[in-house]
């Protein structure tokens, strides 16, 4: 248990990945449950040891949170995706080299 991050902190980390339900996101007293996607009071989650909306225990939520975080990191480090230096669109690296950016048409080999 010593090196385990508390699950409500993990819930917090994953919060920024959520793209809906904006109202409560800015409130530090609330976290979003990864299972039911409901916003729950952090203190209450801590006290009850899990999500009190869907009844998912903290360990389960923490497991899912780590998994999600890993997926997100993988996506970020994905060598097949790159950013177009011209318009900033995320494009497939191979396609950018061969055909140019699908948004602005610029190839990385083009000269300014």
Closest CA to 102 of 89, 15, 110: 89
**Interaction mask 77-96, Zn ion, x per CB under 5 A:** -------x-xx-x-------
Nearer residue to Zn ion within complex by CB, 71 or 110: 110
Decide: is 104 part of the binding site for Zn ion (CB under 5 A).
Answer: yes
CB neighbour class for 62 (10 Å; exposed up to 12, middle 13-18, buried from 19): buried
| Token pair listed for 83 | 């950013």
The site for Zn ion (CB under 5 A) is made up of 33, 35-36, 51, 53-54, 84, 86-87, 89, 101, 103-104
């Amino acid at each position: 248990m010593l090196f385990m991050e508390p699950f409500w902190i993990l819930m917090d980390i994953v919060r920024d990945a959520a793209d809906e339900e904006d109202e409560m996101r800015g409130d530090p007293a609330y976290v979003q449950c990864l299972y039911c996607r409901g916003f729950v009071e952090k203190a209450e989650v801590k006290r009850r040891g899990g999500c009190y909306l869907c009844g998912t225990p903290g360990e389960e939520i923490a497991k899912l949170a780590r998994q999600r975080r890993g997926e997100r990191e993988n996506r970020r480090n994905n060598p097949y995706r790159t950013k177009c230096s011209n318009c900033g669109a995320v494009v497939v690296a191979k396609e950018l080299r061969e055909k140019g950016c699908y948004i602005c048409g610029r190839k990385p080999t083009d000269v300014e």
